[in-house]
Structure formats: structure tokens, C-alpha cells
A and B are shown apart, each in its own frame.
Chain A
Amino acid sequence: MQKIGVFVCWCGSNIAGTVDVAQVVEAVRQIPDVAYAIDYKYMCSEQGQELIRKAVADYKLDRIVVCSCSPRMHEATFRKCAEGVGINPYMVEIANIREQCSWVLKDKAEATAKAIKLAKAAIAKVRFNGALKPGESQVVKRALVIGGGIAGIQTALDIAEAGYKVDIVEKEPTIGGRMAQLDKIFPTLDCSACILTPKMVDAANHENITLYTYSEVESVSGFVGNFDVTIRKKARSVKADMCSGCGICTEKCPSRKTPSEFDMGLKNRGAIYIPFAQAIPKVPVIDREACIKFKTGKCGICSKLCPAGAIDYTQTDELITEKYGAIVLATGFKTISLDKFGEYGYGASKDVITSLELERLTNAAGPTEGHLVCPSTGKEPKKVIIVSCVGSRDVSGRGKSYCSKICCMYNAKHAMYIREKYPDVDVTVFYIDVRTPGKGFDEFQRRAVEEYGVHYVRGQVGKVVVDGDGRLTVFVSDLNSGRKLMLNPDLVVLATAVQPSPDARKLATMLTASIDNDDFYVEAHPKLRPVESPTAGIFLSGMCQGPKDIPETVSQAGAAAVKVVGLLAKDKLLTNPCTAQCDTSICSGCLACTHVCPYGAITGESKPVITKLGVRETRTVAVVNNALCQGCGACTVACPCGAMDLQGFTNQQILAEVDALC
């Protein structure tokens, strides 16, 4: 006879406030095989676990049902507790009476009845639980970082410093990312390049780091500890090992019509180009769509001029396959398209720019060598208006519902460095709210007002009208005074909302990493596991997980690195024992299962079997590789004869639950 112990948690008042826990205990005590049942205030606490341990010893329990919060919270806790007293951890079932019951119901009688049902279903299932033992799998001691911005670089450096090999895949021709485009950074107002470029050099020179620039991840298979990744190294048309980076090709290239991505289109670049002076690797790349040689077959100037003979028009994409134990996503962000925000006049006037464009205009290495000018006239502006929340906090469907988080700080930064360099320029920031939490952040914003004389006016800009001779009129309400204003600035800067890189969704599908409605990667737990994806072995670093500034990105990058190192430090991983099992005595060898297995974990093998009638024979049957099986259960339904079953979720267990609930 089975001896089932049922432990009902109050979760303080979270459960007990809505569910009559004593009644649940009373009800389950009536069920045959339930040898012991009790309720307790906090079952997950040390005292609660002690209660379980003692009950197991006193009543010789062999199965445990805990009625508590979601198994996603504390299943592992209770399994570990069971293991401590000699019960196989897979003999534990959780009835989720918090998230599925007390938290969604108000009526106590109703909630209590549901809790009893859920407990009964868990008891029905646990009767069929079997002792399971996890298998082991090797860990490949190499990590992959996707994205070579500050997040990716920092993560890679931290992993490399811990002594593990790490590869960075960056889709642009250089690492550096968005931070390389910035001029100065808050809250210290130091030069972005001065602190980023040494890190880029460190990454390039580190013996444990391999850079794959101008490369993209093509495909991913495998699982935590054993990912197989194919990387597409796009053809640069320049032999990286021969190029000296002299840049003569980029100067002499006759194609000059392509807007520079790095300079946010404020300047044109050649068809062969190095994005910026400190690029790493400092090897040019030919943009084949812009290159006259590729378009017409004539030209070839770069090849003629190259002193090293490094130009190679015949280069093709190269596919590299590598095994990794862990993958870090650091795919960063872009600003949203302003196509749906015609009222701001972006596109209608060159003097309406985004904040990222302003960064290039004020950057000493930028298209104007740091002179702030109106793009339309080339003259210095006299009056600048900065508009916050452009496309952020917008639920109308045109923008993003979230706060982009970094804008309030960089608006203050921009206002400050304009006022510092050009004290005559009048700068006004129109805002809805100023959100500057963070160490030294609010002080920073106040400095803009108090020391730099930046005007802050509460009220979102309604529209920017561009008249025939290019003059800008900004319509806005000063909400504090209730006055309606019409202003004529020379330059309007739009603090445009950020959004994840467009590649995020594609990668999420490839890696089976979860993604939210805005395409940000979802973390395994918002508070307790913020740098891990719910998919084992996938980690998150930087903006790809949510808007964040550089200090936060760097902290998260370090945290992700620590998580990766923690994984790579293990020689073996315990695998999920809830894998498929084939009953070879009845397997017909149709191998339908092999077609649906996403992991190639099932193969057909000719094996000696004993049939149900006791006959020994050799025939083709399905064999599951438990190290590869991830336990999805696709095979169990594809199997026509029911030979395939999934441990932990067997047909019997699920049907027992169905019966208990119906």
C-alpha cells in the first residue's frame, strides 16, 4: 500500500486568506493511501520542510503532495527536501493552489472546493509516479556571445578572464555597438570612446576570445552544455589577414552615395568602408550593393590601390560550426522608426533629429567634427527643443507601451553639453515626467537646470510644423501654467523610443528562448533569475532583455558572465530524467517518433526483444537517447501503439489527473 503525505501550505494569507486549508486537509485525509495530511503557515520555510521530513520518518511516507504555490516556484525546493529524507525527488507532486486558486478566486467556498480538486488530482497523479534518476551530459567549455556591443564585450571579457574560451558573433563589420556612436556618457560626462575602445582592444587581444565580425548565427541545435552552432561569416571581400588597415581604399572609393550607418545617415560613406576610426578589426568591408565593381563589373580602384593586395572580390560567405556549452544573447537595440509619427516633422525637416543623431553631431569624430549645427543650414542653432517620450509610453499602437528608461538622463546630458559648449544656445526640454532614479542621476538632472540653465517645461510637444522656408514651429502646452505655446526653435531633438534589435525574434525562434510582445527576451524570473532565459543554457545581457543604461548593462553583462562561468565550471550536467521511454516489447518499429523528435534523440535499431507473448526475436525498434531527449512528448502521441511514454508525464499519470478532475 502506498503512503502518501499531503502538505497544505498557507503561504501566509496568500492561500489561507481565500482557501480554508483545514478543510482541504480534512478532505484529503479521507482519500485512501493518504497516510498523513497537515497544513502549515509556510511550507517552504525551514520549519515547514522539517515538518515534511518528520512526517516522512514518522509515517514512513513514500510519496509527497504539496499543495502550495506554482511548481515553477518551489517544486525544486520540495524535491530536494524529499531527497534529504530518502524519497526519490520525482515522488513529489505539487498542487498549485495559489496561482491557480487562491489568487484568482475571491469566494472562500469556491476556492476551497477547487483546492480540494487540485489536491485530489495531484494525489491521483502521484500514485503513478516512479522513482526517476537524472542522467548526465558533458559540458562543452566554450561560450558564445551573440552581439559585440558593450554588453557582449563585457560578458565575453569576464568569461575569458575566468579562463574559458568565448566567441563573439557581431553582425556589423566591427564590434563596439551603439556605445561607440555616443559622444559623452552620463552621469560622469566622460568620453564614450575613451572607455569603450580599450575594452574593444582587450576583447580583440584576449587569448580566450575569438571575434567573428560581419557574421551572423545561422542555426542552433543541441541543448544546455552542448549547443551546436553554425555561424555565417559574411564575405568582406577583403582578406583580413593581409589588410593593414591603412584605409586608402576607403578614401579613394568613387561610390559615395551610401549613407553611413554609423553616422546615422548624416554623412555618406564609400562602398568599401571602415565604420569608424577605432573599429575592431580595422579591416574594411565592401558593401556589394553599393560597389560599382559588383554592380557593373568596372572599377576595381580599391584593388589597384591596395598596397597589401588584400582586396578579394571573389570571397564567399564561410560557414563555421562550433560547439558551445552556453550562449549569451547581447543583441542590443535600435531606435524605433518614426514613420508613424508624422506630426513631429521628422523627415519633413532635416532640423528635426533623433537623439542618436545628435550624438553623432556633437561627437568630435562625427560628421561635423563635433560642431553642433542645424543639418539644413550648417549654421549653429540658437534655440534647441528636446522632446522626451517620443514613441515611449504610447499605447495607441503607434509606439511602445514601455518607458525607454534612458531618455530622461540623456536628455539632461544633451542639454548640458550643448549649454556647456554653446552658452548662447537656449535649450528647453519638454517632458511628461522626469524619471531619473539611480546613483547620482537626479543630481545630474538638477545640475542641468541649476548650473547649466536648461529649461524644463512639463508638457509633451503636440506637433512640429515645418513651413515653406523650413522654419520650425513647435506647438506645446506648458501644463504647469496652462499656457499654450508656439515656439520657433532651430533644432528639435526627439528622444526616440528604443526597441530590441530586429534580429531578436529570429534568434529567439532558433534558440527557443522566450520573447515578450515587444520582442525583448524574457528572463527566467523577473527578480530571482534576471539574466537567464527560461531556456537552459541561454543567458541575457544588456538591452535585449529590456531598456537599460550603460552602468546597468555592464552590471548585467557581468552577472550573465558569472552565470555562464558557473555553468562551464561544471564537468557534467544532470539531465532532466523526464524523458521518453520506449516499451520495446510492443514497439512496432514504425519510427513515426523519429520524424517528430526535434532533437534527433530517437533512432531505429535492430534489437533483440521479448514480445508480450514471451517470444524472443530481433526486430527494428525505437531507441531513445536519454542525454538528447528533452522530454517534450511529441513522440508519445505520434506512436500509434502506445509503446512510447514520457516519464513524469505518463499516459497513466495524465489520465489519472483527467479522471480526478472530471
Chain B
Amino acid sequence: MQKIEKLLQKRAAELLAEGTVERVLAWHAGEFFYDNAPAAVSSADECDKLVYNEFCPANLCKYLIETSHAGKKTAVFLKPCDTYGVNQLLKDNRIKRELVYAIGTPCSGMLDIKKIKAAGAKGIISVSVDGDEVVVNTAYGEKRLAKADVLLNKCLMCKGAAYKIADEELAEPLPVPQFTGDKFAKVKEIEAMSAEERFAFWQSELSKCIRCNACRDICPACSCEQCIFDKPDTPVAGKAYADEVEEQMYHIIRAFHVAGRCTGCGECARVCPQGIHLELLNMKFMKDINSFFGQYQAGADSETPAPQVSFKQNDPEANSAVEGREQHV
């Protein structure tokens, strides 16, 4: 990882120095070693402050909307999963391909500090990866944890090491977390619950929401010029509690709006301060789209028509979606 960080700094500086790009999007250190944040640099001298390690989960593609808007050619470091977002933004006409310089950046899974802390690590000084294990250096000595146990949730649904769009690749790909299970396992688990249990689950999840809009702000599919929730003259308005419809329906409407455009990057759930399992809403739509309309992965390319703006004459009937499902009063 340190090697890749050096390469990243070097390439960023080169691209800026030779004038290929006006700006570079990468990560820089946050207050703590584990909260690296997105960074934009526009001169080669600043590049040494860029970092890259197992604590750079942020998907940078959404910032390309701004840079594209400003007409500035921008290099962006993209982990394999982040590249899906770029394709989706291209499909949605939100960014201009000629203003994007995509650099594939190897990743072997990002770590979740909350999981590390929850595993009993106190007084953490630093964290490093050693093969399948994570070495936590604490004030009380070294602690080794299985890497699979402390990966970010989103990395448990890893889509692989391939870049779906890249003008260059920074280094040889790293082995990605081998996710062997069914990525829809959790969705299926909820589907299998009784209607009462499902309701109870979602009532408990959604009641946690404080409407901070972090999920929306981070989401690469939520790329509208103006979000309908911010449109004062529609009946769905306001960040603050303005109307009970949008207040209560916010997550359903949002999930619906990104259905077929959500790449499954899992950023929404990652940034949620309340820890709501938002990915389970999006994953449900992804699963339904696959099973009702045929396999589709948003962001796998920038051409295939999205499922909500295409159709087949023999699509299943709408009512069939709930036929045979347990009914309740």
C-alpha cells in the first residue's frame, strides 16, 4: 500500500506538472489516521500530502460533476468499485468524458475502524495489513484480527478488481476480498421474514433517520442539479421537517429514484451517522431488477439502457411481484 501511495503521489504530480490535467482528486489525511478524506489538488507541490491506504473508502467520482461543470480536466484516482460510479455519471450526462482522466487504483478492501474498535482494540495507534490479518498497534500492545472481520460492509459486496473505466492503471491489481456468499443474502433474509417482522425491521431502521441527507449527498447516483427534496414548490420539500409525506417516504423515494442507477457502492450506508442499513433498500431493487427484467449492473458500462427507461413486451406483470407473498392485515 505504501508503494501505491508513493506511485499515486508521483503520478498526480506528473500529470499536473505536464499540464495533462488541471486538478487531481485523491485522498488526504484527516484528523486521525483512519479518517482520510477526499482531497483536490491543483499544483504538483501539494501532491506529497496525498495519502492512500486501507482507510480511503470515499468514492471520489461525484466530485467530477463539479470539475466537469467548471470545465477543468481532472485526474481522479478510482478504486475498482468507484469506476462504476464514473460510468453511471457518464450515462447520466453529468460529467464530460474528455474532462475526466481516470486512474485505476488497486484496492484490496477498505477497513472499518468501528469494527476494529468493536473487536476490542483500545488505544489504537496504527493499523496495518499483513496478508489475511490486520495488525492493530495499540497502546497496550499488538492485536491481530482477521481482515475479513473488519472490512467495511461495502467491501463485503466487492465487485472485483476490474476497472470498468480507466485511462491508465496505477499498478498491478491487488487481490480483492474474495466474497463467496450471495450478495443478496441479507435481502433474502428480510424477504423471508413475516410481513410483521419486515415492518418491524424497517420501522426500527427508518425511525433512526435524522434527515441529515448524508446518504443523498454522498451518492453518485443522486446527481441531480436540484434534488426534488430541495424543491420548495413541489409537495416534497425541505431538508427540515416540512411535509410528512417526504419525511416518511424519503428513503423509499430516494431508493426508487436511484433504482437502476445505483451501482451498489454502499457509500450511503457507510456515511449514515445512524447506521441505517440503507444498502438493503438499494440491494433489494438491484435484486428485483435482475430477477424481473434480466441481469443488470449499473455502471458496468455507459451505454446499456437503464432498466427503468427500457422494457420488454413480456416483462412480468406488476402484481406477480407480490403474488404468493404472505398477506397481513
Contact = CB atoms under 8 A, between A and B. Distances in A.
Interface of A: 585-592, 595-596, 604, 611-612, 617, 619-620, 638, 640-643, 651-652, 655
B234 interface: yes
Interface stretch (B166-174, B186-194, B223-231, B269-277): B223-231
Contacts of A655: 235
Contact of A611 (B225, B258, B310): B225
B227 A651 contact: no
Most buried by A among B93, B227, B233, B308: B93
A647 to B, nearest CB: 15
Contact of B92 (A588, A642, A651): A588
8 contacts: A585-B226, A588-B93, A589-B93, A590-B94, A592-B306, A595-B309, A640-B228, A652-B233
B226 A641 contact: yes
Contacts of B49: none
Contacts of B309: 592, 595-596, 638
Chain B interface helix/strand/loop/mixed: loop
Contact of A586 (B69, B224, B306): B224
B1 to A, nearest CB: 36
Given A586-B231, A655-B235, A595 B226 contact: no
Contact of B93 (A604, A612, A641): A604
Contacts of B234: 642, 651-652
Nearest to A591: B93
Most buried by A among B94, B226, B228, B233: B226
Contacts of B310: 595
B305 interface: yes
Chain A interface helix/strand/loop/mixed: loop
Contact of A588 (B224, B233, B258): B224
A588 B231 contact: no
Contacts of A642: 228, 231, 234
A643 B310 CA distance: 20
A512 to B, nearest CB: 15
A648 to B, nearest CB: 17
Interface string B186-226: 00000000000000000000000000000000000001111
Interface string B258-294: 1001000000000000000000000000000000000
B257 interface: yes
Contacts of B258: 640
A167 B258 CA distance: 49
Nearest to B232: A612
Q: Pick the 7 closest A-B CB pairs, nearest first.
A: A641-B224, A595-B309, A590-B92, A586-B226, A588-B225, A642-B228, A589-B93
A588 B223 contact: yes
Most buried by B among A592, A617, A652, A655: A592
Nearest to A611: B225
A617 B309 CA distance: 28
A620 B257 CA distance: 20
Given A588-B225, A652-B233, 6 more contacts: A585-B225, A587-B225, A588-B93, A590-B92, A642-B231, A652-B234
Interface string B308-329: 1110000000000000000000
A653 to B, nearest CB: 11
Contacts of A641: 224-228
B257 A589 contact: no
Interface string B80-97: 000000000001111000
A640 B91 CA distance: 14
A655 to B, nearest CB: 5
A291 B16 CA distance: 74
Most buried by A among B69, B225, B226: B225
Given A588-B94, A592-B309, A612 B235 contact: no
A640 B93 contact: no
B213 to A, nearest CB: 15
Nearest to A612: B226
Nearest to B235: A655
